[in-house]
Amino acid sequence: MFKGSNVALVTPFKNNKLDEETYIKLIHFHIENGTNGLVPAGTTGESPTLSHDEHEKVIELCVRESKGKLPVFAGTGSNSTEEAISLTSHAEKIGANGALIVTPYYNKPTQEGLYQHYKAINDKCGIPIIIYNIPGRSVIDMSVETMARLFELKNIIGVKDATGDLDRVNQTLNKLGKDFLQLTGNDDNALEFNMRGGSGSISVTANIAPKLCSDFQKFSKSKNDNELTQAKKLNEILQPLHHAMFVESNPSPVKYAAKLLKLCDDDVRLPLVKVTEPTKEIIKKALSSAKLI
The β-bridge partners of 39 are: 8
- Does the annotation count 115 as an active-site position? no
Catalytic one among 57, 132, 255, 256? 132
Spatial distance between the Cα atoms of 63 and 228, rounded to a whole number of angstroms: 33
Spatial distance between the Cα atoms of 130 and 121, rounded to a whole number of angstroms: 12
Spatial distance between the Cα atoms of 270 and 162, rounded to a whole number of angstroms: 24
Whether cis (ω within 30° of 0) applies to the bond prior to 251 is yes
Phi and psi angles of residue 16, each rounded to the nearest 5 degrees, phi first: 65, 15
Phi and psi angles of residue 202, each rounded to the nearest 5 degrees, phi first: -110, 105
- Does the annotation count 132 as an active-site position? yes
* Angle, CA 201 vertex, CA 195 and CA 202 arms, to 5°: 170
Q: Taking the mean position of all CA atoms in its chain, how far away is CA 119?
A: 22
**Nearest alpha carbon to residue 195 among 241, 228, 148:** 228
Spatial distance between the Cα atoms of 293 and 282, rounded to a whole number of angstroms: 13
With the C-alpha atoms ordered 4, 92, 59, 116, is the resulting torsion angle positive or negative?
Answer: negative
**DSSP summary character for residue 194:** H
Q: What is the enclosing helix (H) or strand (E) of 216? A: helix 210-220
Catalytic one among 160, 218, 255, 259? 160
Catalytic residues: 132, 160
